[in-house]
Structure 1
Amino acid sequence: MTNVAEASRASRPVPRSLLSGPRSAWSAPLVIWAGSRILSTLLLATMYVVATANGWDFASYRKDPSFFTFSGSWDASFYRTIAEHGYPSTLPTDGDGHVLPNPWAFLPVFPALVRVVMSVTGGSFWVAGVLVATVAGAGACVLLYRLVLAVGCAHRARWATALFAFAPTGFLLQVAYAETTFLVLLFGGLLALVHRRYWLVAVLGTVAAFTKPGVLALAVALAVHLVVRWVGFVRRRGPFPWRDRIAIVVAGLVVAVAGLAWPVIASAVTGRPDAYLDTELSWWVGFVGRQHFAPLTPWFVMAGRWLGPIGIVLVVLVLVGALWFFRRRDVRALGPEALGFTASYALYLVAVFLPQQSLPRLLMPMAPLLGSDVFVRTRRRALTWLVVGVCLQPVAIVLLWFLGYP
């Protein structure tokens, strides 16, 4: 099945523009996006009104309470600081010299875009942040649709986009976070990779590297693509000109260097060698205390701390389940680009991320997997997942907005 899918993609003409194609390739995802925004806005507005009327505590900008400041709760305050004041040259520390949470954990592209919108419109960070995030959310839906369409069919593209937009975390497509900006760049980069626009992958990947962490997975996807094309060339399945080989390697190196640049920049500006790492670890303290970072251990540390030996077993079961999932034929049929990216991104999360309430948000870049049979093989199955997502979204809003930040 994988070979058939690869051959089918190879035989398709590469469009002059990644956004060219029939009108439905625009209209379908935008209709889905618009419907999902009606639902999410209604749910968020209801929560805001109920919370305000009952005096519930939530971390929004209470000096100017509004729906927009509510939509800019939690980590959005750091983006506001960056947009309005930039990054600090000295890291804040406690009495023992330990680094405290600070803006260096957040990358500059999203607040820079918001700053531009603020300057043009004269609006506040909260309004501009929601506007940028919402527009980028529309773009993410369009590019996800086109990506799944490029490796599958219209049925899979429609349902994958719907499951993404109406997911339990669907409300994050319009709050003042960097998620949607990152997703536009990632999905665009993957679509460009599928269509062999390697220099465009390099550009989008570089910008994504300064939007949110995780872009190294795109460099891995380029490496997987290189191997697949090389094997196809050796087996005489198609040409592999030197210009493509050079472009893939250069694009991969550019994206990899960009993905590793932010810790170097943070260290250079603050004069502290581990500025970025220490900043990230400062968020761990409330969950597992102060820890020295070691790759591939955070999930086990978190599970062991809160659940003991049972937690370790659960982590092992999750990893085994993930391995089974990625080895499924229908998942592999999504193509080496989507599979290479999502598998390596999952490995990135396991390697460096401490799993807590923001995990559902960080799983959003793996949305291309929603085009697999697990979710959309039949209309009934897809509809079932859609209903589950819609029902869980208000639960997620309550849990993440009032019990722990998303």
Structure 2
Amino acid sequence: MADGELTDRAPARVTAGRVAVRIGLIYLIARLVTTAFLLVAAELSGFESRFGPEARLGDLVLGWDSRWYWIVAEVGYPSELPLTGDGAVTENQWAFMPVFPYLAKLVGLPFGHWVFGAFLVSIVAGYGASLVLFHLLREKIDDTAATWAVVFFAAGPLAALFQVGYAESLFLLWLFLALWCVLRRRYGWLYALIPLMAYTRPGILAFALFLALFGIWRWFSRRREPLRAAEVVHIVALGLLAVVVGFSWQLIAGWVTGDSGAYLATELSWRRNWIPGDVVFFPFEGFVSASAFWFGSVWGMTAEIGYVVLAASVVAVAAILLFVPQVKRLGVEVRLWSASYVVYLLLVFFPQSSIFRLLVPLSPLWGALALPRSTPWRVGVLTACLAGQWWWIYNMCALGNAIWQIP
């Protein structure tokens, strides 16, 4: 019997190893391309760029929000909120979750600087996310399509995030693992993954909504797939856990600073860079205000046009998730997660140039673009990915001097 088990499991191990090597080669080539783009961007950086004319690769790794994570790792979080001259809360570390900066600090200790740890955590987590994404998509689509989806992911427009001091790579690793666990009904791991996601970057409340929608779907589909009591308990408990940890950071910030609204005030301080004056928060307000701001104040149109574009975009996204055959092939779990995350963004986010980065958690949808079997189509998508990647790196790193050039 022991010999039989070893014989049965050996092919699976070989296959998993080959997949790991294949994804590793894809990821390595993609990282070399991104490195070349970053080196060119550093060379093109001038006096008007925030990186200056003497920019180096390390400066780009530590650019923009990476510096905030570095500050968190070095000095922690403020017990007193910093204020502007008129008494409003200004930007500070409470907007950034602790897992990534402290992990990067730990990894960077042998190298003597946080930036090395941040780079290593990001690039290794990016490989892990790529590998898990393959296995997640492979549950629903064929090997070739899943591989192409990873190619698009690893070389996508925001692929520079795998090589800078941002928390996205690490969050994507946790997220893809969590989605794979839900898809395989392995709920036990989620009790660890949910807190890890929550304290890596904002977005866990979207996962709470996803679990609620998933639970409803499982109830109505219980005749096709039996729904056991233990699974119901897991889904409810995990949903509650996601809600609790999702709001816990606000409570922690309030407890440390003595201001119950510390976290929200900190987040809104960034919004005042676009909309000066008193900024208030209520659900959907960010997208509504941004529609008026971008279409009215910036682009010289009218706010009404912005509202129409916003409504049409919401309808288009809903139609894609509901009716496009290639998206439906990815499975209910990926579609419910995508819908939940879009709703989360609509509820809390003020859209500006960072919207591209905030859309990265929708990366499982690359599988839909990989499904057409046409080689010219797939090569065309890859070409568009690389063009978008260079456009993003050039604007955010080489230039980085306009309101729409903030990653």
Q: TM-score, normalised by structure 2?
A: 0.89
| Alignment check: 8 A CA contact 2:187 2:234 kept | yes
Once structures 1 and 2 are overlaid, which stretch shifts more, 98-107 or 143-152?
A: 143-152
- Displacement of 1:192 after TM fit? 0.9
% of aligned pairs identical?
33
- Residue-by-residue CA offset, 1:224-276 (whole Å, 9 max, x unaligned): 3323333333x2x3333222221222122112211221111111111111111
Comparing 66-75 with 169-178, which one deviates more in the overlay?
A: 66-75
- The offset of 1:219, in angstroms, is 2.1
Displacement after TM superposition at 1:353 (Å): 0.5
1:142–1:55 CA distance, 2 compared to 1 (3 A): same
Corresponding residue to 1:297 among 280, 285, 290: 285
How do residues 244-323 of structure 1 correspond to structure 2 at under 5 angstroms?
244-290=231-277, 291-307=279-295, 308=302, 309-323=304-318
| Separation of aligned partners in 1, 2:331 and 2:212 | 14
- Is residue 378 from structure 1 mapped to residue 373 from structure 2 by the alignment? yes
Structure 1 equivalent of residue 118 of structure 2: 129
Range moving further from structure 2, 317-326 or 184-193: 317-326
Query: Are 1:58 and 2:45 counterparts?
Result: no
Superposed structure 1 runs of 4+ greater than 4 Å apart: 18-21, 59-62
List aligned pairs for 1:379-394, cutoff 5 A. Answer: 379=374, 380-394=376-390
Report if aligned partners of 1:183, 1:365 keep a CA contact under 8 Å in 2: yes
Q: Indicate the larger mover: 351-360 or 154-163.
A: 154-163
Aligned-pair CA distance for 1:94: 1.1
Q: For the residues of structure 2 that align with 1:303 and 1:262, how far apart are their CA atoms?
A: 29
Check the 8 A contact 2:51/2:59 in 1, yes or no. no
Matching residue of 1:169: 158
Cα distance in 2 between the residues matched to 1:356 and 1:320: 20
Is residue 241 of structure 1 aligned with residue 228 of structure 2?
Answer: yes
- Say if 1:267 and 1:152 are closer, same or farther in 2 by CA, change over 3 A: same
Report how far residue 61 of structure 1 moved. Answer: 13
Q: Are 2:36 and 1:42 aligned?
A: yes
Q: Which moved more, 1:263-272 or 1:246-255?
A: 246-255
Q: What amino acid maps onto 1:301 in structure 2?
A: S
Structure 2 partner of 1:6: none
Is 1:72 equivalent to 2:67 in the alignment?
no
Q: How far 1:310 sits from its partner (Å)?
A: 1.8
**Unmatched tracts of structure 2, length 5 or more:** 1-8, 296-301
Separation in 2 of the partners of 1:122 and 1:168? 30
Helix, strand or coil for the counterpart of 1:286? coil
Letter in 1 for 2:406: Y
Q: Which amino acid aligns with 2:133?
A: L
> Could you tell me whether the CA contact under 8 Å between 2:126 and 2:173 is conserved in 1?
yes
The correspondence for 2:215, drawn from 209, 218, 226, is 226
Question: Would you say 1:146 and 2:171 are equivalent positions?
Answer: no
| Other structure's SS at 1:378 match | coil
Q: Secondary structure of the equivalent of 1:327?
A: helix
1:98 matches 2:99:
no
Q: Is the 8 A contact 2:39 2:56 kept in 1?
A: no
- 1:184-241, Cα deviation, whole Å (9 max, x unpaired): 00011101111111121221111100011111222223223323333333x2x33332
- Give the distance between the partners of 2:14 and 2:322, measured in 1 at CA: 33
* Contact 1:71-1:176 at 8 Å conserved across structures: yes
Could you tell which deviates more after superposition, 376-385 or 108-117?
A: 376-385
Shift of 1:283: 0.5
Asked if the contact 1:167–1:389 (Cα under 8 Å) also holds between the matched residues in 2, the reply is yes
Gaps of 5+ in 1: 1-14
Contact 1:59 1:74 in 2 (8 A): no
* Cα offset, 1:66, TM superposition: 3.7
The range that moved more, 352-361 or 310-319, is 310-319
Between the aligned partners of 1:20 and 1:209, the Cα distance in structure 2 is 34
Which residue number corresponds to residue 332 of structure 1? Answer: 328
**In 2, Cα distance between equivalents of 1:213 and 1:338:** 19
Partners of 2:115 and 2:13 in 1: CA distance: 30
Structure 1 equivalent of residue 181 of structure 2: 192
Q: Check whether the contact 2:271–2:350 (CA below 8 A) recurs between aligned residues.
A: yes
C-alpha contact 2:47 2:53 (8 A) present in aligned 1: no
Amino acid at match of 2:321: F
Q: Report the alpha carbon displacement of residue 55 of structure 1 after superposing the two structures with TM.
A: 4.0
Query: Which residue in the other structure is 1:8 paired with?
Result: none
Report the Cα offset of residue 32 of structure 1.
1.6
TM-score (norm 1): 0.89
8 Å Cα contact 1:202-1:255 kept in structure 2: no
How far apart, CA to CA, are the structure 2 residues paired with 1:323 and 1:247? Answer: 28
Q: 1:350 to 1:151 in 2, by over 3 A?
A: same
CA shift in 2, pair 1:30/1:22, >3 Å: same
Secondary structure of the equivalent of 2:120?
helix
Classify 1:60/1:226 alpha carbon distance in 2 versus 1 (closer, same or farther; 3 Å): farther
Out of 22, 25, 40, the residue aligned to residue 28 of structure 1 is 22
